[in-house]
Amino acid sequence: MCGRFTLTTDPAQAEDVFNGFTFPSQFTPRFNIAPTQPVLAIPNDGKNTADFFLWGLIPSWSKDPAIASKLINARGETIAEKPSFRGGFKYKRCLILTDGFYEWKSSPGVKTKTPYFIHMKDRKPFAFAGLWDEWHSPDGGTLRTCTIITTEPNELMSTLHNRMPVILNQKDYAEWLDSTPRTPDSLLHLIKSFPADKMSAHPVSTMVNTPNNDRAELIVPVQ
């Protein structure tokens, strides 16, 4: 699964990497984004504009918003079938912006897992494949929420965990953000692991285990 990630870039760099998309004029660097918190995403609503969504999908038909904490990830192998995700896969896809994510590695004989920070070798921001939806509360409020799609790990990630987030190539952004309904068969070729040779990982402090810790020291390599 993907349970924590970062977005430390500034709007200017984001606009440079994600050419053709519009971003908020400013947003705070985040070093420990956790489920149910705001994330920056670009929905396929035809506007090509990044906005903040809550991480944890609440399907529009859900009676209870607490379901969000259970739907932070969507397994790529079953998103075309699961009731919580199949509508979003067809109609409501998004890019979730990031520049790194965390995973925890188990070691034989060691009780505490070691957190690792995973990023691109060039340290540029990138995008997870996500799904989004709008939920209308009984009091008339509206929540826009999202989930990160996961898949089988590549060679690098398999040394840390048995899953990884789906990371999209820039050339595939337009197809993923197509605002017209898409059949699952026309999109499943994008649900795959990202090339390991473009990624890097290093161990970091267990300070990341606490969501309230959100500072630059979290991504610094440790022994």
Q: What is the DSSP letter of 3?
A: -
Q: Which residues are catalytic?
A: 2, 103
Tokens at residue 219, please?
């991504």
Q: Which residues make Cβ contacts (< 8 Å) with residue 221, sequence separation at least 6? A: 117, 202, 203, 204
Cβ-based neighbour number of residue 58 at 10 Å: 25
Amino acid at 10: D
Contact assessment for residue 218 and residue 205, using Cβ atoms and an 8 Å cutoff? yes
Helix and strand numbers, DSSP H then E, in the chain: 3, 12
Q: Give the 3-state secondary structure of residue 186.
A: helix
Sign of the Cα torsion 115, 166, 127, 54 reads negative
Residues 6+ apart with CB under 8 A from 156: 118, 196, 199, 200, 201
- Number of Cα atoms under 13 Å in the Cβ half of residue 108: 0
